[in-house]
């Protein structure tokens, strides 16, 4: 082992030893289990001494527990648009890992957590529908905890070695091929089954393909009935986009009584505040309409699916949905097989179809 670098009994880290400016021997932990990193720290110390400066010691990090990181991370995350959904994920993580010291986190701990969450998905619920933790849900939790530890290193709450162990955890393979949409008859049945406050929200979703958060946060300033479009300022991918207003949606919006003292289109008439969620009333409407295995986000799929089935090209659908990549919209392409067939038959470069038909007709006549 190199001179000045050694292992101390009971410590997982390398220690370094060097002479300070006054000639006294300084011993300190390098705070790393890797020899090369300890060697680099020792070299930096010696170089600082050679320049006539007193080196700063390696920071001693307190043994923080996960809930202490949760407290600090929540303060930081409040500035993000997605804070509400992220806060829900953080709370779930806190329930499981709350009192565990940050230094104890490793790939095995998180991989066991992945397995446990996936197993919860095997529990059946009413109507024989299985709900719970699909790979996408588990991946969001793991992504959250990875980012939390990234910030923990920045905030000197844990050593980088812990973060490296966590980053080794791989995300689960997701099946994003689920495409649930309603027929026109089901759409009408759902609308009929809605409570008065929910009906305009559902109609807006079916006519725009907007996400739930985009609809519930919609303000009158975002709506231009004269020119016929809705201007979305804050979207999931960060880009602004314009949504054309259909005749049905225009009639709906013109029929809503606007209150001068409230900025939002959809709000609680008692509190005057915009709706935070409509999950309960939406699920009630689904039960009344006898529609199962359906989520609010599937209204967006319904909007896109019916556009494609009506012959609207994928590029236009992609722009209406606000997709950054056309690949995201191609999941709807299979709904327009007739249009694909018409496209290839339009060229008819060889005329072989007519020639084959003629020969078959001639042969039949000669028999």
Spell out the domain ranges in the chain: 5-50, 66-167, 184-336
Summarised one tens digit per residue, pLDDT across range 247-270 is 999 999 998 888 888 999 999 988
Q: Is 317 helix (H, G, I), strand (E, B) or coil?
A: helix
The four Cα atoms 153, 157, 162, 164 give a dihedral, to 10 degrees, of -10
Half-sphere exposure of residue 261, counting CA atoms within 13 Å on the CB side? 4
- When pLDDT is averaged across residues 82-89 and rounded to a whole number, the result is 83
Handedness of CA 161, 163, 164, 165 (dihedral sign): positive
Q: Which two tokens stand for residue 137?
A: 């849900």
Would you state the structure tokens that stand for residue 74, as one six-digit string?
């929540």
- Closest-CA residue to 59 (of 40, 39, 31): 31
Asked, colleague to colleague, whether 66-167 and 184-336 share their fold, the answer is no
Residue 188 CA to its chain's centroid (Å): 30
Reduced to 3 states (helix: H, G, I; strand: E, B; else coil), residue 7 is strand
The whole-angstrom separation of Cα 357 and Cα 367 is 16
For the cut 60, the answer to whether the pLDDT of residue 171 exceeds it is yes
The model carries a pTM of 0.55
Per mean pLDDT, which range of 187-191, 271-275, 333-337 is the poorest?
333-337
What pLDDT digit, counting tens, does each position of 289-323 carry?
A: 999 989 999 999 999 888 888 888 888 888 888 88
Q: What is the number of other CB atoms lying within 10 angstroms of the CB of residue 49?
A: 16
- CATH class for domain 184-336? mainly alpha
Phi, psi (5° rounding) for residue 230?
-110, 130
d(CA 106, CA 113): 11
Distance CA 367, CA 336 (A): 41
The Cα 61–Cα 30 span in angstroms is: 12
- Of residues 222 and 336, the one with the higher pLDDT is 222
Higher model confidence: residue 235 or residue 154? 154
Between 232 and 109, the higher pLDDT residue: 109
Asked if 208 and 222 count as a contact pair (C-beta separation under 8 A), the reply is no
Average pLDDT over residues 179-203: 93
CB atoms within 10 A of CB 54: 11
As given in the structure block, the two tokens for residue 83 are 């804070």
pLDDT at 342 over 60: no
Dist. CA 245–CA 256, nearest whole Å: 15
What is the fold of 66-167? DNA polymerase; domain 1 (1.10.150)
Question: Distance between CA atoms of 13 and 5, rounded to whole angstroms?
Answer: 10
- What is the pLDDT at residue 150? 92
> HSE (CB half, 13 Å, CA atoms) of 186?
16
Distance, in Å, from the CA atom of 261 to the CA atom of 350, rounded to the nearest integer, reads: 68
d(CA 80, CA 195): 32
- pLDDT value of residue 285: 95
């Amino acid at each position: 082992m190199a001179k000045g670098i050694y292992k101390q009994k009971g410590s997982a880290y390398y220690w370094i030893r060097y002479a300070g400016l006054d000639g006294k021997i300084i011993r300190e932990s390098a705070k790393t289990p890797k020899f090369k990193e300890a060697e680099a720290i020792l070299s930096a110390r010696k170089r600082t001494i050679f320049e006539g400066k007193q080196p700063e010691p390696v920071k001693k990090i307190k043994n923080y527990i996960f809930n202490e990181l949760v407290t600090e991370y929540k303060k930081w995350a409040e500035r993000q648009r997605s804070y509400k959904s992220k806060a829900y994920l953080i709370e779930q993580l806190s329930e499981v890992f709350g009192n565990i010291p940050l230094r104890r986190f490793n790939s095995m701990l998180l991989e066991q957590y992945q397995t446990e969450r996936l197993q919860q998905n095997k529990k059946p619920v009413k109507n024989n529908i299985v709900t719970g933790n699909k790979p996408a849900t588990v991946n969001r939790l793991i992504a959250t905890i990875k980012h939390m530890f990234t910030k923990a290193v920045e905030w000197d709450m844990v050593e980088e070695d812990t973060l490296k162990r966590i980053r080794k955890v791989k995300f689960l393979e997701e099946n994003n091929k689920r495409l649930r949409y309603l027929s026109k008859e089901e759409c009408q049945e759902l609308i009929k089954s809605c409570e008065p406050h929910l009906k305009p929200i559902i109609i807006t979703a079916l006519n725009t393909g907007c996400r739930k958060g985009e609809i519930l946060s919609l303000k009158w300033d975002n709506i231009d009935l004269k020119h016929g479009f809705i201007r979305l300022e804050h979207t999931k991918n960060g880009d602004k986009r314009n949504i054309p207003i259909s005749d049905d949606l225009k009639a709906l919006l013109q029929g809503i009584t606007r209150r001068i003292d409230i900025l939002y289109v959809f709000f609680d008439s008692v509190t005057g505040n915009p709706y935070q969620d409509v999950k309960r009333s939406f699920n009630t409407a689904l039960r009344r309409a006898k529609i199962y295995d359906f989520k609010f986000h599937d209204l967006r799929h319904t909007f896109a699916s019916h556009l494609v089935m009506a012959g609207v090209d994928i590029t236009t659908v992609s722009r209406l949905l606000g997709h950054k990549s056309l690949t995201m919209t191609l999941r709807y392409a299979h709904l327009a097989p007739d249009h694909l067939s018409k496209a290839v038959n339009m060229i008819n470069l060889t005329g072989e179809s007519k020639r084959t038909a003629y020969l078959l007709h001639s042969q039949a006549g000669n028999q």
